[in-house]
Amino acid sequence: MMSQNLLEELFQKKPYLQLYYKLEKKESDYKLLQNEINSEYYIKYQNRPLASTVSPKKAAERLLSGISISDSNVTVVMGFGNPHILELVNKGIKPEGLVLYIDTSVNAFLELRDSFFKDILLVPGRHIFCGENSLSILWNYIDSLPLGRFSGLKFIKNPGSISLEPDFYSFVEENLKKLFSARISDLLTKFEFEKIWVKNSLYNTIEFFKPNSQKYKIMELENRFPNLPALLVSAGPSLRQFCPLIQKIRDKVFVMSCDTSLKVLLKFGIIPDAVMTLDAQTHSYFHFMGIQIKEYPLFTDLVGSPKLLREQSNASIVFTTTAKYTRDYTGQNTKEMTAGAAEAIEQIGEIGELQSGGSVATSAFDALRYMGFSPIVLVGQDLAYTGKEIHSTGTHHNEKWLTQVNRKRSLEKINESIIRKRKTKYVPSVDNSLVITDHVLEIYRIWFERSIQNLDLKVYNIADKGSLISGVINLNTSACLKLFENTSNHNYPWKQLKPWKVREDTKKNQQQKYELPEFVLSLLAELEKESFDLQNIEKASLSDKEIVNILKEKINMIPFIKPILRKEEVYLARHQNELSDAKQKEILILSLLKEIKNLKRNILVACREYIEII
């Protein structure tokens, strides 16, 4: 049994273990036994030994001899039936390596708690998850795990334990692989886009300081419209058929349009109250071609494309930020913000955080929730290839495809060829049939379902086809008209607020020079100093290892640099045992100098409308 001091120290580092140590060991079907031949241990379930009774340690060594375990993997040990497996894996991986011990029964752990697990759990990178009740903690742990230093999962299975509950272990393995794959996908997305996000957030932060820039923060609109109904318009295939319905209820709801659906609404003479765009790249520009927004604001994330915002010079811009909240294995909430957002908030203050499921519609939905609208009505939210179409006709996508139509290639064939390239499946439809969707649309549907489940507001979906969204009340045209028949016209109360005030044409002022924000001058000076220090760091009488440690500290300290160098950090973390200190130093110095130079260039480009600074 651990001493009280050791237990307190253990619980400080791994609070969740208190759940296991509060349990009293009682009579159960699990028994830890010792054989008489060589004093080795195994667990017996009822009358069934879960490991070799002759030489369990030899069996453990034989099992591990065919498996390559490494500190760069997350090692998952499944089943406690052979305690020597737990022991050998612990010894074979460094303390900073990660080992997850999983069993279907808490009683199996209690048999080993004061013996084998006594020393194992004192090692920092060792964790246990026992029984179905622990799975939510396990999923949260994987979801909050910094995957930069891990390259994959390695499963070590005790056959005796697995045979007791094969479905449990199969379920755990499958879900761990899915979660890990999703996290790796998220990491790769960051590798690809974080430089763009930092560049855009820096540019938009500088733009925010321009006088009369018509830039606002969604925080200023928090809960400003309680109990007012809102309509979220997406560009699903069904949108066009419901546009006449939108015209009838237009004066009773706040209309938030996604960027993809804006052209469809305007073709029906429906002017929305706001438009949401999200893409950090310039692709979203095509949804606004030929349109000059003036009467309604453009909502966008701080990492939104500066080129698009610059082109819509007459529009009021309402900035948002995206934050992802997760709960780690200790039960603590963790927050992850989009790259560049934290540094921007330091300069312009709190902006207002939205949850996003990765699409414009999910961000728009949370923006409506943030502003207090209730109920929220979805339209065009098919989340499926209704009628084997991808988007509603009238969108930019369809306009582009129409130019490719010829005698041998119809619009239907173009849609079908695109759908066939995606990983599709059938899901329940609103009309009790089945409809085709894909993996990405399924992720969006699940996001809506989970978000709605946690919200105290009614959500409706105007649809007669499309994917069935749990927790949403589906409406057809007549049911929607009945829902709003007693609702009074809202008289557009938001038009009294600054983001909706129509301004004069600002293009004539674009050549005007402005005073440079103080933080830009400070940032440029800091970057110049860091660049100089990096060029001379090797002249200091320090070892390569000391220089590497200093450089790693600089990555965390220099504004905007850490997300830009995420790929280099991950590479070094995964290969730290293979790379010499001299090589790590070389990689870090070159990467830092390169990205500081690029950051300075981006700042100067963003400041071209300010007074000369060079």
- Token match 């409406």: residue? 475
Strands 41-45 and 48-49, bridge-based pairing: antiparallel
Instruction: Say if residues 200 and 280 touch (Cβ distance below 8 Å).
Output: yes
Q: Which pLDDT belongs to residue 608?
A: 72
Helix or strand (DSSP H, E) at 235: none
pLDDT average, residue stretch 443-467: 89
Residue 476 to residue 17: CA distance in whole angstroms: 51
Longest CA–CA separation in the chain, Å: 93
Cα radius of gyration rounded to whole Å, the chain: 29
Higher pLDDT, 312 or 434: 434
Whether 209 maps to a domain, the answer reads no
Strands 434-438 and 424-428, bridge-based pairing: antiparallel
The percent of residues in the chain predicted with pLDDT above 90, rounded, is: 42
Residue 602 to residue 614: CA distance in whole angstroms: 14
Q: How confident is the model at residue 247 (pLDDT cuts 50, 70, 90)?
A: very high
Q: Which pLDDT belongs to residue 366?
A: 94
The pTM is what? 0.78
Q: How confident is the model at residue 146 (pLDDT cuts 50, 70, 90)?
A: confident
Residue where one domain finishes, among candidates 451, 473, 501: 501
Q: Which pLDDT belongs to residue 284?
A: 76
Same domain, 36 and 155: yes
Higher pLDDT, 270 or 293: 270
Same domain, 370 and 270: yes
Structure-block tokens of residue 110: 């209690």
Q: Provide the 10 A C-beta neighbour count for residue 299.
A: 30
Q: How confident is the model at residue 577 (pLDDT cuts 50, 70, 90)?
A: confident
Same domain, 95 and 229: no
Whether 507 maps to a domain, the answer reads no
| Burial environment of residue 280 by CB neighbours within 10 A (0 to 12, 13 to 18, 19 or more) | buried
Same domain, 480 and 522: no
Residue 435: helix, strand or coil by DSSP? strand
Whether 511 maps to a domain, the answer reads no
pLDDT at 480 over 90: yes
Higher pLDDT, 398 or 92: 92
Helix or strand (DSSP H, E) at 102: strand 98-103
Q: What is the pLDDT of residues 518-531, one digit of tens each?
A: 888 899 999 999 99
Whether 387 maps to a domain, the answer reads yes
Q: Which pLDDT belongs to residue 274?
A: 94
Same domain, 469 and 543: no
> Which range, 160-164, 175-179, 312-316, 406-410, has the best average confidence (pLDDT)?
160-164
DSSP string, 504-535: ---GGGTT--BPPPHHHHHHHHHHHHHHHHHH
Instruction: Say if residues 473 and 455 touch (Cβ distance below 8 Å).
Output: no
pLDDT at 443 over 90: no
Same domain, 532 and 461: no
Whether 243 maps to a domain, the answer reads yes
Structure-block tokens of residue 176: 């761990």
Higher pLDDT, 92 or 605: 92
For 131-171, strand residue ranges (E) read 152-157
How many domains does the structure of the chain reveal? 3
Residue 289 to residue 275: CA distance in whole angstroms: 14
Same domain, 477 and 578: no
pLDDT at 133 over 60: yes
- CA 258 from chain centre, in angstroms, equals 20
pLDDT average, residue stretch 373-389: 90
Whether 434 maps to a domain, the answer reads yes
pLDDT at 74 over 80: yes
Q: Which pLDDT belongs to residue 2?
A: 67
Among 241, 240, 274, 236, smallest CA distance to 257 is for: 274
C-alpha distances out from residue 499 to 97, 317, 367, 396, Å: 51, 7, 15, 26
C-alpha distances out from residue 82 to 32, 85, 128, 160, 444, Å: 10, 6, 15, 8, 42
Residue where one domain finishes, among candidates 501, 528, 550: 501
| Burial environment of residue 518 by CB neighbours within 10 A (0 to 12, 13 to 18, 19 or more) | exposed
For 423-541, strand residue ranges (E) read 424-428, 434-438, 459-462, 473-475
Same domain, 130 and 156: yes
Of the ranges 94-98, 395-399, 428-432, which one carries the lowest mean pLDDT score?
Answer: 395-399
Same domain, 150 and 232: no
Residue where one domain finishes, among candidates 447, 474, 501: 501
Same domain, 90 and 59: yes
Same domain, 427 and 475: yes
Instruction: Say if residues 446 and 423 touch (Cβ distance below 8 Å).
Output: no
Domain with 541 in it: 518-606
Whether 527 maps to a domain, the answer reads yes
Q: How confident is the model at residue 613 (pLDDT cuts 50, 70, 90)?
A: very low
pLDDT at 549 over 80: yes
Residue 330 to residue 350: CA distance in whole angstroms: 28
pLDDT at 404 over 80: no
CATH number of the domain to which 86 belongs: 3.40.50
pLDDT at 330 over 60: no
- CA 539 from chain centre, in angstroms, equals 42
Q: Which pLDDT belongs to residue 91?
A: 92
Q: Which pLDDT belongs to residue 609?
A: 62
Handedness of CA 402, 404, 409, 412 (dihedral sign): negative
Same domain, 366 and 244: yes
Whether 169 maps to a domain, the answer reads no
- Tell me how long the chain is: 614
What is the edge-to-edge ordering of all strands in the sheet holding 41-45?
30-34, 41-45, 48-49
Helix or strand (DSSP H, E) at 319: strand 317-327
